[in-house]
Structure 1
Amino acid sequence: MSKKIVVIPGDGIGGEITDAATAVLRKAAQKHSIDLEFETHHAGGAAIDLYGIPLPDSTIEAARQADAVLLGAVGGPKWDNVAPDIRPEKAILGLRKALGLYANLRPVRVPASLSEYSPLKPEIVSDTDVLIVRELTGGIYFGEKCEATVVDGVEQAWDIEVYSVPEVTRIVALACQAAKLRRGKVVSVDKANVLASSRLWRRTADKVAQDHADVELSHMYVDNCAMQLALAPKNFDVIVTSNLFGDILSDEAAVLGGSIGMMPSASMGEGTGLYEPIHGSAPDIAGKGIANPIGTILSAAMLLRHSLNEEAAAASIESAVDKVLAEGYRTADLYRAGLTKVSTGEMTRLIENNI
C-alpha cells in the first residue's frame, strides 16, 4: 500500500525547502522500495490569502487522513497586521490540536564537519547526537493563570504548573520507544528537589520505565542538564522533559550545531505526525535559491523513521547529508572560505545523488 504524505509548503522559503525534501524523499523511497503519494495543501499566510483563514478545514481533514505531514514554514511581514485570531502562526497550533500532537521531538546532531560552527570547542561538540522529547500540551503554559491581581495593595501575577499521571506516562513512553531506535538511554529532566509537579513526573517516569526493560532511565535536575549540555553534550542520548523545561533546553541544544538551518523537528501524538524544520519562513531570501534545505530534508528523514517505520531509508538520507557536508559543500548560510558554495537546488541534488 502507498503511504500518503501531505505537504504544506507554507510561506516564504517554505515552497523551496519542501520541494527539496520531497525530492529527497522520492529518491530514498525509490531506493528502498517504498510507495509514497504526495498531496499539497495550504496553511499559514498562503491560506489567509486564498481562504481568509490560516488553517482551512480541507487541510485539517487531509492531514488527519494522511500517514504523515511535511510542513515548510509559515508567517512573514505581509501578514503582520492581520487580526490576532487569524495570524499565520495559528496554523501550527491548530494542526497540533487537530492531530492530537503532545510531543515535540528535536534531534541535535553535530557531525565533525560542522563542529567548527559551534560556539563550543570542536572536541566537546563533535559527533553530538541528542534527541530532546518535549511534552507539548500540558504544564505551566496551559495551566490556570492570572495576568494581574492586587493582594494587600501589591500587584501580582501567577501561572500554575499542572501535570497528570496520564500526561507524563505517554510522553515518557514515547521517549522510551524513541530510545529503542537509538542507543537505549533516556534522561528524564525535572526539578524534583523543589517542585511537586516534578516529583509526580519522576515517580511516574520510574513506573513507565518498568515496562521498558531494554531502556536505561536516569534522572537529572534541569539546571544541571542545562550545564551538562554545554559541558558534555555527547553524554546524552534521549532527553525527556516538561513543556517549559523542554522549550528552554531544546533551544539551548539547537545552538550546539551553530545553525538553525540544519535543525529538524517532529510533533507526535495521537494522530498523524507533523514534521518541520525549526527555522522560520525567511521571506527576505525567498525565491533566491539560497535557502538551506537540510533542516527540512532531515525532517523528512524523521518522517520515514517515526511515522513510516522505515529506519533504513531514514538513515540513508542522514548519511547522504553527512557525506555532502564532509565533502565541503555549503549553502550560503554556512559558507566559509575554502568550501564550495551551492544553491538550494544544488544541495538537494548532491544529497539525492548520495542516497
Structure 2
Amino acid sequence: MTSHKITILPGDGIGPEIMREVRRVMNWVEYAFDVSFNVTEGLIGGCSYEEHGEPLTDNTLSIARASDAILMGAVGGPQWDGKVEYAKRPEAGLLRLRKELDLFANLRPAMCFDALADASSLKHELVAGLDILFVRELAGGVYFGEPRGIEDLPGGGRVGINTQRYTDVEIIRISRVAFDMARKRSGRVHSAEKSNVMESGLLWREEVTKLHAAEYSDVALEHILADNCVMQLVKAPKQFDVILTDNLFGDLLSDAAAMLTGSLGMLPSASLGNGGPGLYEPVHGSAPDIAGQNLANPIAAVLSFAMALRYSLDMGDAADQVEAAIAKTLETGARTPDIWSEGTRRVGTHEMGDAIMTALKS
C-alpha cells in the first residue's frame, strides 16, 4: 500500500469546518484507491499565535517541510487585526510558510461549473464553460521586496514603503511554469504586467518574451496590461486560457475572477516549488462572520485536495473522480448560502459534505 505524508493546517475561522469535510473525502480516497494518508495536524495563523505566540512555529514548519503535501484552511480574524505585532499577525504565518518552502508558483483555476453558470454576476453565455488558470508568482514582488516599512519623516508625518522588485531568474522560473501548463491545456498564455509605468513590469515583459522565443514558440503568447486584463475578464473572460502574472496583480486578478465562477467558495489553489511539498488551500479567507455556524462552502477546500492529488501525489485518476463528484453534487441542486439561488436546495457545510460523499460513493 502506498503511503503519503500529509500535513493539515486548518487555521482560523471556517478553516476547521471545511477541513473536516476534506478529511471525509480523504478517507474515501484511501479506501477507493488503496492508499494510506499519514496525517499530522498543526496550527497556523491566529490559533498558533494564541497557543505559541507565533503565527507559525519552527516545529510546524519542520513537519510541513517533511510532508508530501500540505492542506490548509484559512488564517486571520478581527480579534488579531491591529491588535498584535505586525510581524506576528496571522497572515505572516502563511507568508513565512510560502517563503521558507520557496513556493513560488501559485496555480489558481477559475472554472465555472455548468450548474453554476447562472450564479455568476455575468451573463450565462459569458461564463458557461469558463476555464482559466492563473499562474501567479508567489515568492517575490511587492509583498517581499525591500526596503519596506513605515517610517517617520524628518519634517513630521509618516511614510509607508513597499518595494516592487523582481529578478530575471524569478520571472523566468514562473514563466516556465505558465508555458508548461499552457502546453497541457489550450496552448495560450496572456502575460499581465504594467510595463507602461513600472520598470519591474518592463523587465517582466522582456524576460517573458525572450523565454518564449527561445523555448516555447509553440505556445501563443500575448502581453496585456494588468488593468486591461481586469476589464477583459469582465468583458470576454473566455478569451483567456493561462494568465501569467506577478504576486500583486495575481492576487487581484484571481480574486476578481472569483465572481465569474459564482463564489470565492468555489476556488482552490496550489502553491508549488522546486520538488518540495506543495501547499493547497482555498482562495477564500477565514470568514469569521460565519465561523462555527455550518454555513461555509467546503467545495474550494475539497477541490484544493484534488489539486494535491494531481500535482503532489501523482493520483490524477483520484483527482478526476473528486472533481466529477463536485460537478455531480452541484447538478443535484445542493447549494451552500454563498451559491444558493431560487429553485436550488440550501444546505450547510456538513450537508454539502454529505452530498459530495454520496456522489463519490455512487
Q: TM-score, normalised to structure 2's length?
A: 0.89
After TM superposition, the structure 1 = structure 2 runs for residues 97-246 of structure 1, keeping only pairs within 5 Å, are 97-141=99-143, 142-144=145-147, 160-209=163-212, 210-212=214-216, 215-246=219-250
Change (3 A) 1:27 1:208: farther
1:112-165 Cα deviation digits (max 9, x unpaired): 2212222211111112111111112223441545867989x9998775533211
State the alpha-carbon separation in 2 of the partners of residues 163 and 70 from structure 1: 28
One-letter amino acid matched to 2:87:
D
State the alpha-carbon separation in 2 of the partners of residues 343 and 248 from structure 1: 29
One-letter amino acid matched to 1:56:
T
1:248 aligned residue:
252
Q: TM-score, normalised to structure 1's length?
A: 0.90
Report the CA distance between 1:194 and its aligned residue.
4.4
Verify the 8 A CA contact 2:119 2:341 in the aligned structure 1: no
1:178-197 Cα deviation digits (max 9, x unpaired): 33443332221223344433
Give the fraction of aligned pairs with identical amino acids, expressed as a percent.
46
State the alpha-carbon separation in 2 of the partners of residues 193 and 53 from structure 1: 40
Range with greater deviation from structure 2 (183-192 or 239-248):
183-192
Report the CA distance between 1:24 and its aligned residue.
1.4
Verify the 8 A CA contact 1:29 1:313 in the aligned structure 2: no
Verify the 8 A CA contact 2:98 2:139 in the aligned structure 1: no
1:298 aligned residue:
303
Change (3 A) 1:193 1:82: closer
Report the CA distance between 1:109 and its aligned residue.
1.0
State the alpha-carbon separation in 1 of the partners of residues 254 and 175 from structure 2: 16
1:318-339 Cα deviation digits (max 9, x unpaired): 1111111122111122222321
**Does 1:261 find its partner at 2:262?**
no
State the alpha-carbon separation in 2 of the partners of residues 146 and 13 from structure 1: 31
Give the aligned CA root-mean-square deviation in angstroms: 2.6
Residue 289 of structure 2: SS of its match in structure 1? helix
After TM superposition, the structure 1 = structure 2 runs for residues 11-26 of structure 1, keeping only pairs within 5 Å, are 11-26=12-27
Task: Report the count of equivalent residues.
Answer: 355
State the alpha-carbon separation in 2 of the partners of residues 269 and 219 from structure 1: 25
1:286 to 288, 291, 316: 291
Report the CA distance between 1:268 and its aligned residue.
1.8
Verify the 8 A CA contact 2:150 2:158 in the aligned structure 1: no
Verify the 8 A CA contact 1:324 1:350 in the aligned structure 2: yes
Residue 342 of structure 2: SS of its match in structure 1? coil
Verify the 8 A CA contact 1:149 1:157 in the aligned structure 2: no
1:192-245 Cα deviation digits (max 9, x unpaired): 344433332223223333334654333222233222111111121111112232
Range with greater deviation from structure 2 (273-282 or 72-81):
72-81
State the alpha-carbon separation in 2 of the partners of residues 187 and 316 from structure 1: 30
State the alpha-carbon separation in 1 of the partners of residues 34 and 211 from structure 2: 36
2:66 aligned residue:
65
> Structure 1, unaligned stretches of length 5 or more?
none
Change (3 A) 1:26 1:234: farther
Residue 308 of structure 1: SS of its match in structure 2? coil
State the alpha-carbon separation in 2 of the partners of residues 58 and 146 from structure 1: 28
State the alpha-carbon separation in 2 of the partners of residues 196 and 19 from structure 1: 45
Change (3 A) 1:219 1:66: same
One-letter amino acid matched to 2:356:
I
State the alpha-carbon separation in 1 of the partners of residues 80 and 133 from structure 2: 33
Range with greater deviation from structure 2 (182-191 or 107-116):
182-191
**Does 1:335 find its partner at 2:340?**
yes
State the alpha-carbon separation in 1 of the partners of residues 271 and 219 from structure 2: 22
Residue 192 of structure 2: SS of its match in structure 1? strand
Residue 35 of structure 1: SS of its match in structure 2? strand
Verify the 8 A CA contact 1:2 1:37 in the aligned structure 2: yes
Residue 354 of structure 1: SS of its match in structure 2? helix
1:79-137 Cα deviation digits (max 9, x unpaired): 34233332222211111122111222211111222122222111111121111111122
One-letter amino acid matched to 2:269:
S
1:229-279 Cα deviation digits (max 9, x unpaired): 111111211111122322221221122123111121222223321111122
